[in-house]
Amino acid sequence: MVNVAALKAAKAGAKSVTMTDLEYAKDKIIMGSERRSAVISDETRKPTAFRESGHAIVAIHTDGAHPVHKVTIVQRGTSLGMVAQLPDKDETSASRRQLLAQLHVCMGRRAAEEVIFGENEVISGAFSDLQEATSLARAMVTKYGMSKVVGLVADDCDCNGRCMDTETKREVRKLLDRAYNNAKTILTTHSNELHTLADALLEKETLTGSQINALLGKKEMLPVLDNPELGSVVSRKEEVDGCCYRESQNESGKDDFCSY
């Protein structure tokens, strides 16, 4: 990261590396290189702004989700937009509450599409989000012992879940359906915030977590959804590994989601 920052400073003719250079380097490593030369139509920018805003709003209002580091609709690589999240402390494991929060955030883009544009206007770009959510839900049920119905088991399922019986598949589906419905509830309840953030992204293109907090009038990102599946609401979230959610220009959905 320091090398990337130093290279940027040298190109600018600076005599030293500043925090601005380091922030640039961190974002480049986490989110990829910006492609501001790419021509993106308004018909594409507006839906992208709402989808990325959906990710961010769900993260802000879900207990256990990573803090939002940055949201952008500037193309980076093949991604039309992205939400980057970073933990505020190091963690070596994740609680059930934190994993459920990840499921919620994975569903944010598709939920935003349905809330804003309607069920018939959802697109295939959320493929990787759904794939990531399915893999996580499957692991919670078959590997982490986080289903009361299936119990404390650790089955060695392949990536397609071929070893899962009907009961296990039902539990995975239950987790996914609940996460999606909760994401829709959050976005419907906080529709004003969704529109405010999307409008700001269309104007500014990139916003930091602090700027989003100021925009939405929040001192800190606290959960508001009262969901027994997420456990008790706390004033400070426990965090796990940082991650970013990308919207791919390729309809196959590849590279939509990455974790670090």
Active-site residues, by number, are 52
| Residue that is written with structure tokens 């992205």 in the block | 82
Nearby residues of 57 by Cβ (< 8 Å), 6 or more positions away: 108, 112, 186, 187, 190, 193, 194, 197
Q: What's the distance, CA 4 to chain centroid?
A: 25
Residue that the structure tokens 């991650």 belong to: 243
The 3 state secondary structure assigned to 17-84 is: CCHHHHHHHHHHHHHCCECCCCCCCHHHHHHHHHHHHHHHHHHHCCCCCCCEEEEECCCECCEEEEEE
From the list 252, 254, 237, the residue with the least C-alpha distance to 105 is 237
In angstroms, what CA-CA distances link 70 with 191, 208, 212, 250? 20, 4, 9, 22
Helix/strand/coil for 195: helix
Distance CA 226, CA 248 (A): 32
- Please say whether the dihedral angle defined by the alpha carbons of residues 153, 158, 163 and 169, taken in this order, is positive or negative: positive
